[in-house]
Structure formats: C-alpha cells, structure tokens
Amino acid sequence: MPYSAEISRTNPGCFIFLLDQSGSMADGVGSGDVQLRKADFLSDVVNRALHDLVIRCTRTEEIRDYYYVSLIGYGRHGGAVGPGFAGRLAGQALVKISEVGEYPARLESRTKKVVDGAGGLVEQVVRFPIWVDPVAENGTPMCAALQQAKGIVDSWLAEHPHCFPPVVLHITDGASTDGDPTQAGQAIMDSRSTDGNALLFNCHISSQRAARIEYPNESAALPDDFARAMFAMSSVMPVEFRSAATAVGISLPEGARGFVFNADATALVHFFDIGTRPANLR
Amino acid sequence: MRLKVNRFLFHKADAHPRECEDAVGVNAAAGRFAVVDGATEGFDSRRWARYLAHGWIRAGACDVMAAEEAIRLLGGRLRARHRMDSLPWYLQERAQQGAFAAFIGLSLHPPGTWDALAVGDSCLFQERPSQFLAFPLAEPEHFLERPFLVPSLIEQDPHLRRHVRQERGVSLPGDCFLLMSDAIACWYLAHGRCERDLGKRLHRLMSDDRRAELEGLVIEERAAKRLRNDDVAIVRIEVVVG
C-alpha cells in the first residue's frame, strides 16, 4: 500500500517548504482589525510549522532526526531562488530536524492567551523561535523554484529509495513570472520512492475577498486558468493527510487534491497543519 | 499463596535499550505488580513510567483517591528533577507539557482475591482453563484509539479520575495473570491467545524464563507485521498449585 512507509531515524521523511517571497507578498491578508502583510503572516506560519515539527520529533531528552527540512524562497534578493533559512542555517538547502531545533536564528518573546483555571484567559509570554524572516521583493520565478525543489526531491530519493515520499508545500500569492509551472510541478509528482510518488501541495493566498476553494477533487468549478494549472500540479491527498484534515474539522472528498485557492489566514494555518502530518511517525 | 513471577522488557527495533520507555514493577511478597508504558511524546516519560511502577508496588491501597495522591506526589518529585532554565527551548516546551504513561497495576490478596487499576491501554489478562478475562481492553480494535494517559502534571489535567478503570476478581491456584503494555497486549488478543500453538509457545518461553527465545518471537512477529514495533513489557504471575 502506498504512503505506508514508517518514518523513523533510519528511514526519515523530507519536507520542502517552497515560499513565494515576491513583491506582492507585501499586500495585506486578513480582514477587520487584524491586517497583516502576507509575507509577515507566512513567515509566522512557517516558523510555527517548523516549531511544531521540532516538538513532534523531541523525544525525552533529544530531537530525533525523523525529518529533514528544506526551505526555499523565491522572488527575494533580485528575483533569486535559494535557501530561505536565516541565521546559522542560512545557505543550507536541506537540514536535519535536530539542527533546525538547535539553531533558530533567534528566539522572540510572544504572548498567547491561555485559560487561567478560573473561567478566564490570561496572557502568557512564550518563546517563539524564528528561522525565516518575511521577505517581499521582485517577481515570481515559480518554475525555477519548482525545479530547485525537484532537484532536492531527486537527491533525497536517490539516498532514501524506500522512504515515505517527500512532501513539497508550496505557498504563493500569484501567477508565475517565468513561464507555465505545470510541467515543473508535474516533474516533482513523477518522482517516486518504493512507497509512492512525491507529494506537491499548493496553497494560493489572496488579499481579495474572493471565495475560498479548499482541497477540490475536480477542476470544473475553478475560476480561471491559473487556478486550474495549480490544481493540475497538486497531488491527490493520501489517506493519512485526509485524516489530518478531518482532525482540524475539514472533511475531504475522495480524490481531493492538496490545493487551496484564495486561502485566508485560517486556511493557510490549516494547510500547514495538514501537510506536515503524515501519520506513520514511529 | 505461592506465586511464580517472570518479567520481560524489550525495546523497539532500531532503538537503543536506554530509549525503552516501558517499565515493570514487581513486589511478589506484597502481591503487587505493574506494567507502565511511558509515552514517547512526553518529557522524561521513561522516568515517569519507572516512578509509577515503583510507586504502585510500594503502596498498599488500590483506590482512585490514593492513586491520585500518589500521582501528585510522584509528579512533584519528577518536576523537581528538571532544571528548566538550563534546558533548550524545545525541551522546556516538552517539560511544560509533562510526562504521560499508560498504567496497569495488579494487587493480589492472600485469601484469593485481586484488585486492578488501569489508565490507558496497558492490559491485564487472567487465564484459567475455563475462563479468560481481559481488562481494560478486550478487543484488538480498541487499541487503535488514542487513550488517556496518566499525566505527571495532574494539576493541568483534572480529568484523570474519569479515566481510571477498576476491576476486581477471585484468583485460584493455577491461574495465570499477564500484565502487558499495549502493542504486545493487542498482539496477544489478536494472535497469541487465539492461535493455539503460538499461545503455548509464548507461555512456555515466559514460564521457563527463556528470555532470548522470547525476544526472538517478538522480533519474528514484528517482521511478520503482526506485532507493532513498540516497546514490550510483560509481567507473568502464576498462582502456584499446592
């Protein structure tokens, strides 16, 4: 059965976060009183996702290397594509989860509201590790970014032929400026381990108040060619990920693709929750 | 009441023995036994499992209130060991969540009765030729659920009492009690008990204390994908005839 390989230290998994850091990411996301730049919100969500992966791999006194993580930004620094880690991990294409845990660029203090045990909420200061900073510059070289991800996927598969297939989580807010990305996306999905094809999940975030479309199983209802192209290069979600969706209250139809169009802030958080949760971690 | 007791502890495949988070407690003189399965996701769950196992076999009571008080004390002792300021951020977070463990404790009383207390999916089986009792789970399918576990920070988790299960019964000479952590308990219900030759082989290996061969059986069953790759803890208690 595909997508059933156990994820362990001897057979680790691989996540690749592909982040649009183009100029339009400076636009706002959210509504009402809460207005954030998309780039700021995305970096917060990615930092949170990395934090959760580290915590999930922390077993007793250590972080166990169940995962390797790649973070690729595109658009930034003159329209380049490259590793997106800040701090000591800067420039590294693929990093063990134990190193991610050991070397955040910095620890910030944030506040969160917690139940006070007396029917109310109190603010609690928590440490929030930062690995990626918000960037919003230049164009959207999506094809080049997907090709770079494909290179990492193939190198990984050559070294781990029986692994749970690599998962690429791609977040963008607009159309590619270096050509049609469909072929580059398909090339990722064609790579495979003995446990199944690599998975490419796409999330399109929007500043518009447009109807959100989450995890569709057909393209007929999609509004335009861009959405249909993103749908075509999104993997069908294996059952483990569909279970993760159910856990956050999203019921997915049979054949649902890992694709969200016009995502708002909540949908983006769910996208990461679902996409980083293959269930068979030992 | 004469008892013949054997205990076994095997770590997961591909793991270091020091990573085994199951614990067993045996105090044959007092007739108290425990199997505790520390949750890998918790912080210092291995030590927590040992604390609970040893706490049970030294205690005298077998009721929920006494158990709650003991957990509070043991949780405090565990917390006192942790120097939070010296921990990196990820261990601090884990430590703030505490440790968790599934627990099964058995207390045998001289006149021929027993009490058991369970939280989570570690199990007790009582066997005699005409009778089989499984507690708290009796079907392999029940092990798929994510169970409630004994928290080390009981103050943060006030629902413990709701999840404590109690059972009691009569023991006769010739009875065999098995305490098992979840993976091996699930396997026992699905295979070990139902497949006659396999069950006989298992009991023979346990009774004769043939540790290496028993570990071989565990490895075989894991390889056959019939036994989940998890730590294995077993305490076998036979009430000796005569």
For the stretch B54-107, pLDDT in tens is: 999 998 777 888 888 999 999 999 999 988 888 999 999 889 889 999 999 999
Query: With 90 as the cut, is the pLDDT of residue A203 above it?
Result: yes
Beta strand B32-38 with B22-27: parallel, antiparallel or unpaired? antiparallel
Q: Kindly indicate the confidence band of residue A31, based on its pLDDT and cuts at 50, 70 and 90.
A: low
- What are the chain A neighbours of B90 within 8 Å (beta carbons)? 54-55, 58, 63, 101
**pLDDT for the residue numbered A279:** 47
Q: Kindly indicate the confidence band of residue A281, based on its pLDDT and cuts at 50, 70 and 90.
A: low
Phi, psi dihedrals of residue A201, rounded to the nearest 5° = -115, 135
Distance (Å, rounded) from C-alpha B188 to C-alpha A83?
49
Query: With 50 as the cut, is the pLDDT of residue A70 above it?
Result: yes
Query: With 80 as the cut, is the pLDDT of residue A33 above it?
Result: no
Query: With 70 as the cut, is the pLDDT of residue A30 above it?
Result: no
Interface touch A127/B229, C-beta < 8 Å = no
Q: Residue B14: which of A10, A54, A104 has the nearest Cβ?
A: A10
**pLDDT for the residue numbered A117:** 64
Strand positions, DSSP E, chain B: 3-10, 22-27, 32-38, 100-109, 113-119, 123-128, 131-135, 150-151, 165-170, 176-180, 232-239
Q: Which amino acid is at A71?
A: L
**pLDDT for the residue numbered A118:** 72
Residue A170's nearest CA partner among A229, A129, A220 is A229
**DSSP SS3 for A60:** coil
Query: Rounded mean pLDDT of chain B?
Result: 92
Interface touch A60/B93, C-beta < 8 Å = no
Phi, psi dihedrals of residue B51, rounded to the nearest 5° = -60, -45
Residues of A with a Cβ under 8 Å from any B Cβ are 6, 8-10, 54-56, 58-61, 63, 101-102, 104, 107, 127, 129, 282
**Model's pTM, two decimal places?**
0.81
**pLDDT for the residue numbered A126:** 81
Residue A151's nearest CA partner among A82, A77, A232 is A82
**pLDDT for the residue numbered A278:** 61
User: Region B9-16: what's the mean pLDDT?
Assistant: 90
To test the contact with chain A by mutation, choose from B90, B227, B231 the residue with the greatest count of A C-beta atoms within 10 A, namely: B90
- What are the chain B neighbours of A9 within 8 Å (beta carbons)? 14
Q: Could you report the predicted ipTM of this complex, rounded to two decimals? A: 0.84
Distance (Å, rounded) from C-alpha B163 to C-alpha B147?
9
Distance (Å, rounded) from C-alpha B38 to C-alpha B45?
5
